[in-house]
Amino acid sequence: MKKYNVAVVGVGAVGVEMLRVLHNRKFPCGTLKVMARRPRTIVVDGRSYDVVETTAQAFDGIDIALFAGTEGEKGAAVTFGKEAVSRGAVVIDNGADYRMDPRVPLVIPEVNGDALKNHQGIIANPNCTTAVLLMPLGPLHRAFRVKRVVVSTYQAVSGAGGKAMDDLRSQAASFLKGEKVIDFGSFPDQIAFNVLANNWKIDDQGVSNEELKVVKETHKILGDDRIAVSVTTVRVPTLVGHGESVYIETEKDVTPQAAMEVLRRAPGVCVVEADPQDGIAHCPTPLMSAGKEATFVGRVRADLFSSKALLFWVVGDNLWKGAALNAVQIAEMLIEKDWLKSTK
């Protein structure tokens, strides 16, 4: 079996998961080069990785460069992405910098994998919230033509990085001891035992950059900018796993049964069915989604007022399907379809 020289750039919350996913999925790595701003040795699941400094030269001989990226500031892909491509690598960037670039495919393999075909060296991974949303929304759009989506998110703190996870833990410990939480850490307010609808920067219309990403990325991935996407992004005190409460309006009539039939056939989607017999909805939670490859859909139900509307709940691991796993799946698809052409 052919092997590929892989680079992972960045070893924060997402970079570490990329190493884990590459290992778990037995990705055919030749050399695996781990890069970051600060050289060091890290240990993931008992495996030791030497981290070298990210430089242009370090990409020589690399076939696939996975940039762990960042949602906020400009990521390493801005500095080194084109360098890596010019040295023969295909870049898969989890950061936000290239997603809306018309020359860059923005891809969820199960939803719009064909967009990878004509890549020009750089491929973008969607925002975690978009990825989790589109795993069910993509197939539903194809089946019923989605006209409007209203989504409210329940986003885990790991989306804000590894330090944010420590911040939540230490705030929660203080709070339980009866202490007043003074240090908000990565957050604009206390996150432990609280909910923040203002965890992202807003524009002059009051829309958060996270909300705008979901709108634009949904349009690009589904190739349809007529879909009205109304998003409210909210940070909740969970560590891993983004939950999303979704309402859709469709052009065609939709029933929960028909929607579930579509979702059961959708690759990567796991439908959790309610059992009204015991009166408790079996329903996926962020906690159960952590470290799982599937995106879980539950509480699929009819709207009480329209036969062209549907409600459901979806959760997925924001670090996996929302980041590291999706990036590795892109790499796998490039190999499988023989689309991993160097563009140097």
Count CB atoms within 10 A of the CB of residue 186: 17
Q: How far is 66 from 88, CA to CA, in rounded Å?
A: 14
CB 65 within 8 A of CB 91: yes
Q: Tell me the C-alpha distance between 155 and 187, whole Å.
A: 13
Nearest-approach distance from CB 283 to a copy of itself, in angstroms: 3
Residue list 126-155, contact with a copy of itself (CB under 8 A): 148, 150, 152, 154
Binding mask 236-275 for a copy of itself (x = CB under 8 A): xxxx---x-x-x--------x-----------------x-
Give me the helix-helix angle, 325-336 and 13-24, nearest 10°.
Answer: 40
As measured in angstroms, the least distance from the Cβ of 144 to a copy of itself is: 16
For tokens 């701003």, the residue is 37
How far apart, in whole angstroms, are the C-alpha atoms of residue 140 and residue 184? 39
Annotated catalytic, 242? yes
Contacts of 339 (CB under 8 A, 6+ apart): 116, 117, 119, 333
**C-beta closer to a copy of itself: residue 100 or 311:** 311
Establish how many alpha carbons lie within 13 A of residue 290's alpha carbon, considering only the half-sphere containing its beta carbon.
12
Least separation, in Å, of the C-beta of 107 and a copy of itself? 24
Q: How far is CA 15 from the centre of its chain?
A: 13
Exactly one of 119, 141, 242, 270 is catalytic; name it. Answer: 242
Q: What angle do CA 168, 172, 173 make, to 5 degrees?
A: 120
Convert residues 209-228 into a mask of x (bound to a copy of itself by CB under 8 A) and - (unbound). ------x------------x
Member of 53, 55, 72, 197 binding a copy of itself (CB under 8 A): 197
Q: Which of 25, 82, 145, 169 binds a copy of itself (CB under 8 A)?
A: 169
In whole angstroms, the minimum distance from the beta carbon of 193 to a copy of itself comes to 5
Using CA atoms, how far apart are residues 251 and 253, in angstroms rounded to an integer?
7
Of the candidate residues 61, 163, 179, 193, the single one contacting a copy of itself (CB under 8 A): 193
Q: Taking CB under 8 A as the rule, does residue 195 contact a copy of itself?
A: yes
Rounded Cα gap, residues 171 and 177, in angstroms: 10
Q: Is 73 in the site for a copy of itself (CB under 8 A)?
A: no
Instruction: Give me the residue label for tokens 């008992």.
Output: 46
The helix/strand/coil state of 6 is strand
* Contact between 171 and a copy of itself per CB under 8 A: no
- Phi first, then psi, for residue 258 (nearest 5°) are -65, -40
Give the contact letters, 278-317, x = binds to a copy of itself (CB under 8 A), - = no.
Answer: -xxxxx-xxx----------xxxxxxxxx--x-x-x----
Closest listed residue to residue 137, CA positions, set 304, 316, 274: 316
Catalytic residue among 119, 128, 141, 270: 128
Based on CB atoms, which residue is closest to a copy of itself, 67 or 154?
154
**Which pair of tokens denotes residue 175?**
């709070």
Give the catalytic positions in this structure.
Answer: 128, 242
Chain residues in the site for a copy of itself (CB under 8 A): 148, 150, 152, 154, 168-169, 172-173, 176, 188-190, 193-198, 201-208, 215, 228-230, 232, 234, 236-239, 243, 245, 247, 256, 274, 276, 279-283, 285-287, 298-306, 309, 311, 313
